Structure 1
Amino acid sequence: MNMLQGSPWLLAHKSMLTVNKPHKVSLYGKDYVLWKDRQENINALENMCPHMGAMLSAGWCEVKSDVTSTVVCPFHALEFDAKGCTILPGSNKQTLPQLAPLELIMQGDFIWSYGGCEPKIPIPNILNEIAASYDLVGHTGDCSVETDLRSMLLNMHDYNHQNGTHREMFKITEVQFDRFIDEGHHSHAYYDMPTAPNSLQEKIKNPALFMMPKVLSAHLENYFPYLVIFHNDLPVGTVAQCHLFVPESEERTRTYVLLFGQPKNPLFKLIGKNFLDVVKVVVEQDAEILGKIYPNAPQKIKLNNEVGMDWVHRNFDSFPTIESSSLSTN
């Protein structure tokens, strides 16, 4: 199954890592351990201890020279430096590298990797642009979903599913699709979603609902295959809701959200966490519905406005080549 080797993948934002605490990530069927030292340097090694196979991500870090740190195996306390070298008990000599480092590409606080594959498409600059003009609200919805990458992306670009999968939370009554702009591996989708009114009790229970307009206007900016940005202009601030995707294996895909905002008044910061909670539920609802779909089910009917799904299929089938952009709609 195609995991689009040669695409860059955003493994994490630095804020997602705790100083000197191992963090597990998976990519292309392999597990890695990431850790951040006091100088904000990011290290990444294969996650399996070469002694007896323990998960290094289940261990801890030891600080060295007041700056650098090693990751320690939880089984026999073997320490491994950023190059994958260790010192065996009873020996004062450092071994040759025993674990292969994962090559990382740092762009500001963003941690990218090609997973050891030859790069076929470039890393975009859009997240750096967002970080330069927006405040980071936080991250949420980090989960591993039992689905392949194509199915995950098809769900994210299925604009008709908003009033089904997410109806209960937002009370979306319909999706009024406006237009789709096809620019190869980059695209934009615009649509409106009228909602039924929420009661005062519902708003008190979930303060983020006070920010929600009667009509949700969506502008999705898409970077195939790793990023969907939901641009949203609210009365209290402008939001850039960045959905990330990482192919952990052929049948498992990780997704998470980085939320950035430009406050227009102090209320935005007060309810920022509530907004993160809402986004987390959205991710959970998407993950849940993907578990309720029969795999390889034939699509016998086609709905209007499936242009985003067609965009995903085309780019999957032609990757890394960009076929002529012909899916734009007015």
Structure 2
Amino acid sequence: MQSMLPGAPWLLAHKSMLTVNQPKKISLYATDYVMWKDATGAVHALPNACPHMGAMLSEGWCEQNNGTSAIVCPFHALQFDAAGCTVLPGSNKKTLPQLQPLDLIIQGDFIWSYGGHEPKIPIPTVLNEIANSYYFVGHIGDRSIETDLLTMLLNMHDYNHQNGTHRDLFRITKVDFHQFIDEGHHSHAFYDMPTAPYTLAEKLRKPDLMLLPSTIKAHLENHFPSLVIFHGEMPLGKAAQCHIFVPEAENRTRTYILLFGQAKHPVFKLLGGTYLKFGQVVVDQDADILGKLYPNTPQKIKLNNEVGMDWVKRNFDSFPDVIAPNLSK
């Protein structure tokens, strides 16, 4: 369990990822939950196994009765309210809670949880700040990857993998690293990624390529352990591409992207779908390379600019405490 950092806050979903009265399966700390949003916008979560015979409640449906919302088991149609209570057939009396609700912390459209553990570090406020000054573009790339949390985080903070893992489509040729600022569980990385140009014919065949810059200027804002924000500034506007991580099990980690924008020109808003597609490519490329690693292979070579990976390892080993050294460079 320690490898999943109990006591850290995890962003389970953005409210836009939930359809009213439609169950969604969520996993955290090796436990599956059913989450749903009722007609009032309130969000609820219960363990996903029906206490009768273990059917997956996420495969059922929702009922709205007298202003309350209930999840219905697909096996015997037992209804469980948000408190985990039900009414057994032949009885008009509600039972005591049969399922323990998952504690959720709702901040605007952000749905956080500590998974039932005592909080050890606070929820980062940065997403609320972004939501107040950017408009929400959408979500993309929600998938589970068969890798442990530490490996996922090391991949996301490996600034040398861009011209390997992400060469396809983006055609990144190298990484020019500039600065890393270490502020404990919060850090910033700044680097440039020159790209090989596409031909005019390639761009005409796929106009989305015209949006790729000749040099990708990266500012990554990192909040250990659950959040990496790619701040991008373009002629038509600014974007905050938020990469989210959730430990579903010891060797399975969920990731997805929330994209926010600030338009300098009205055309920027029309490009939101394209930028989401680029985000999907990033997630798919990372998932692909993580499936091609031999686990527990000793690292005999160290590259320059692995400061982000060192930051992850230090915070992982010392969690929840923050200890020296300061890795700013």
TM-score by length of 2: 0.98
Name the residue aligned to 1:302. Answer: 302
Post-superposition offset of 1:325 = 4.7
Query: Partners in 2 of 1:247 and 1:136 — Cα distance?
Result: 25
The yes-or-no answer on 1:31 pairing with 2:22 is no
Q: Mark the runs of 5 or more structure 2 residues left unpaired by the alignment.
A: none
Name the residue aligned to 1:189. Answer: 189
Name the residue aligned to 2:56. Answer: 55
Name the residue aligned to 1:8. Answer: 9
Amino acid at match of 1:30: T
Query: Partners in 2 of 1:199 and 1:75 — Cα distance?
Result: 57
Post-superposition offset of 1:153 = 0.1
Name the residue aligned to 1:276. Answer: 276
Query: Partners in 1 of 2:237 and 2:74 — Cα distance?
Result: 45
Post-superposition offset of 1:131 = 0.2
Query: Partners in 2 of 1:208 and 1:108 — Cα distance?
Result: 33
Cα deviation, 1:122-171, whole Å, max 9, x if unaligned, reads: 00110000000101000000000000000000000000000000101100
Q: Mark the runs of 5 or more structure 1 residues left unpaired by the alignment.
A: none
Relative to structure 1, the CA distance from residue 179 to residue 79 in structure 2 (aligned partners, 3 Å threshold; closer, same or farther) is same
Q: Structure 1 stretches (4+) deviating beyond 6 angstroms?
A: none
Name the residue aligned to 2:19. Answer: 18
Matches within 5 A, 1:88-107: 88-107=88-107
Query: Partners in 1 of 2:315 and 2:122 — Cα distance?
Result: 15
Relative to structure 1, the CA distance from residue 267 to residue 207 in structure 2 (aligned partners, 3 Å threshold; closer, same or farther) is farther
Query: Partners in 2 of 1:14 and 1:206 — Cα distance?
Result: 33
Amino acid at match of 1:198: Y
Identity of aligned residues (%): 70
Q: Aligned pair count?
A: 328
Query: Partners in 2 of 1:201 and 1:36 — Cα distance?
Result: 47
Query: Partners in 2 of 1:205 and 1:99 — Cα distance?
Result: 54
Query: Partners in 2 of 1:207 and 1:103 — Cα distance?
Result: 45
Matches within 5 A, 1:56-135: 56-65=57-66, 67-135=67-135
Name the residue aligned to 2:214. Answer: 214
Query: Partners in 1 of 2:207 and 2:226 — Cα distance?
Result: 31
Amino acid at match of 2:6: Q
Per mean C-alpha deviation after superposition, the further-off stretch among 320-329 and 98-107 is: 320-329
Query: Matched residue of 1:316: which SS?
Result: helix
Post-superposition offset of 1:208 = 3.5
Once superposed, what is the RMSD of the aligned Cα atoms?
Answer: 1.0
TM-score by length of 1: 0.98
Amino acid at match of 1:192: D
Post-superposition offset of 1:205 = 4.8
The yes-or-no answer on 1:266 pairing with 2:266 is yes
Amino acid at match of 2:288: E
Per mean C-alpha deviation after superposition, the further-off stretch among 4-13 and 210-219 is: 210-219
Post-superposition offset of 1:207 = 3.7
Query: Partners in 2 of 1:175 and 1:31 — Cα distance?
Result: 39
The yes-or-no answer on 1:236 pairing with 2:210 is no
Amino acid at match of 2:320: P
Query: Partners in 2 of 1:225 and 1:255 — Cα distance?
Result: 12
